[in-house]
Amino acid sequence: MYDVAIIGCGVIGASLAYTLSRYDLRVLVLERENDVAMGTTKANSAIVHAGYDPEPGTLMAKLNVQGSAMMEQLCADLSVEYKRIGSLVLGFSEEDRKTLGRIYENGVQNGVPGLEMLTGEQARGMEPALSADVIAALYAPSAAVIDPWGLCIAEAEVAVRNGAELRLRSEVTGLAEHGDFCTISTTTATYEARYVVNCAGVDAETVYRMTAEPKFKTLPSRGAYYLLDKSSGDLVSHVVFQCPSAAGKGVLVAPTVHGNLIVGPNAEEVRSSTDRAVTAAALDAVATAAKKSVPGVDLRQSIRNFAGVRANTTLSD
Ligand SMILES: Cc1cc2nc3c(=O)[nH]c(=O)nc-3n(C[C@H](O)[C@H](O)[C@H](O)COP(=O)(O)OP(=O)(O)OC[C@H]3O[C@@H](n4cnc5c(N)ncnc54)[C@H](O)[C@@H]3O)c2cc1C
């Protein structure tokens, strides 16, 4: 009998296993793939957000700001790449200026440290490659870039060293509750645990359905990227965002912890949680948006395109 069974070993399942493995508990981690960090954790923008986006007063706002403050030490403890380089959200119109004012106020209420509203000239002073059309920007010095799959791998490794049991190629196919414990069926074996935590990412709804009818529906949203050669890695020195919209945080241009430049993502609803196809239309949309922020971005320096799938739902975060 395990005390806690964790379904899924992306960055969330691995973080939970890492934390629980410090206690005197029998911890089991079940992952369907043949390695950890094979889901959304391996294909995203790799930004530790400052915390001005979430609605003030929500759990997400609180955890975003707390998590951002904890991340540097966590990465140092685990020897994971992390760079606190700050972010700029750009405004190109009076409408954008209003959005920047709103997210600045959100950020202040959420307790994000050091937020500053900048003019276009001030933003270009910090980031000379920005477009001449930028009229205002929100600067968030606490934003950072990270190696998200490195964090997941390091947390899983430490958890296993501390005694957690990781079972790869073990897809959970059924859950049954029996009073104070659960039976967990997988493609390879059956386990029993007092507590089960669903960390299945975009497939969390499928796992939820094994015990109850969910009150939400998952709307997988795919985002595609260009990863540019290190010769382009210093084109910008901050994470450069555009104003957020209903579709998400928009296309960014940012240096990575490894010295490359990442450009993307778009946002496109897809039917399948595993549909990570990169399409010409998605790359065109990313290229057009990125050039609006940083006209000199040279996408011929691309060494890799990839896409990740967000676990958007009919509920907000
Ligand atoms: C385009 C894009 C950009 C993003 N940018 C950022 C960003 O800059 N900053 C940020 O903080 N977040 C960002 N995110 C979100 C972030 O990547 C995710 O929130 C995070 O990776 C989710 O981790 P997870 O562990 O919940 O999910 P995942 O990494 O998907 O892990 C879930 C795991 O569960 C496993 N699994 C699923 N079903 C089962 C089953 N039945 N049995 C066993 N195992 C199962 C999967 O194989 C997978 O390994 C972005 C996401 C996308 C798509």
**Catalytic residue flag (residue 178):** no
At residue 317, the pLDDT reads 65
Look up the CATH number of the domain holding residue 94: 3.30.9.10
Give the residue numbers spanning the domain of 288.
84-144+218-310
| 162 and 296 share one domain | no
Quote the ipTM score: 0.99
Is residue 49 assigned to a domain?
no
Asked if residue 70 is part of any domain, the answer here is: no
What's the confidence (pLDDT) of residue 305?
98
- Asked if the structure places residue 265 within a domain, the reply is yes
- Per-residue pLDDT, 238: 98
> Does 71 fall in a domain?
no
Residue corresponding to tokens 């955890």: 63
- CA 51 to chain centroid: 13
Nearest to 199 by CA among 4, 23, 16, 21: 16
Which pLDDT belongs to residue 249?
Answer: 82
The atom of ligand 1 lying closest to the CA of 33 is 47
Q: What is the pLDDT of residue 150?
A: 98
Based on the domain organization, do 88 and 198 belong to the same domain? no
Burial class (CB in 10 A: 0-12, 13-18, 19+), 135: middle
Q: Is 200 in the pocket of ligand 1 (CB under 6 A)?
A: yes
One domain, residues 301 and 194 = no
Residue 184 contacts residue 172 (beta carbons within 8 Å): yes
107 lines ligand 1 (CB under 6 A): no
304 and 224 share one domain: yes
What pLDDT does residue 225 have?
A: 98
301 lies in the same domain as 240: yes
Is there a single domain that holds both residue 233 and residue 303? yes
Tokens of 106: 């959100």
pLDDT tens digits, the chain, 317 residues: what are they? 999 999 999 999 999 999 999 999 999 999 999 999 999 999 999 999 999 999 999 999 999 999 999 999 999 999 999 999 999 999 999 999 999 999 999 999 999 999 999 999 999 999 999 999 999 999 999 999 999 999 999 999 999 999 999 999 999 999 999 999 999 999 999 999 999 999 999 999 999 999 999 999 999 999 999 999 999 999 999 999 999 887 778 899 999 999 999 999 999 999 999 999 999 999 999 999 999 999 999 999 999 999 999 999 998 76
Q: How far is the CA of 50 from the centre of ligand 1 (A)?
A: 19
At residue 315, the pLDDT reads 86
Does residue 276 sit in the same domain as residue 261?
A: yes
Burial 106-122 (b: 16+ CB within 10 A, else e): bbeebebeebeebebeb
User: What distance separates the 2 farthest-apart alpha carbons in the chain?
Assistant: 64
Residues 225 and 305 in one domain: yes
Statement to judge: residues 138 and 254 lie in one domain:
yes
Residues 127 and 223 in one domain: yes
247 and 300 share a domain? yes
Residue 222 lies in a domain: yes
What does the H/E/C string look like for 182-217?
Answer: EEEEECCCEEEEEEEEECCHHHHHHHHCCCCCCCCC
Residue 9 lies in a domain: yes
- Is the CB–ligand 1 distance for residue 10 below 6 Å? yes
Count of the separate structural domains present in the chain: 2
Give CA–CA dist 294/200, Å, rounded: 36
CATH of the domain at 180: 3.50.50.60
- 308 in contact with ligand 1, CB cutoff 6 A: yes
Same domain, 134 and 242: yes
Which of 6, 44, 65 for mutating ligand 1's site (highest number of atoms within 8 Å of CB)?
A: 44
Q: Is residue 19 part of a domain?
A: yes
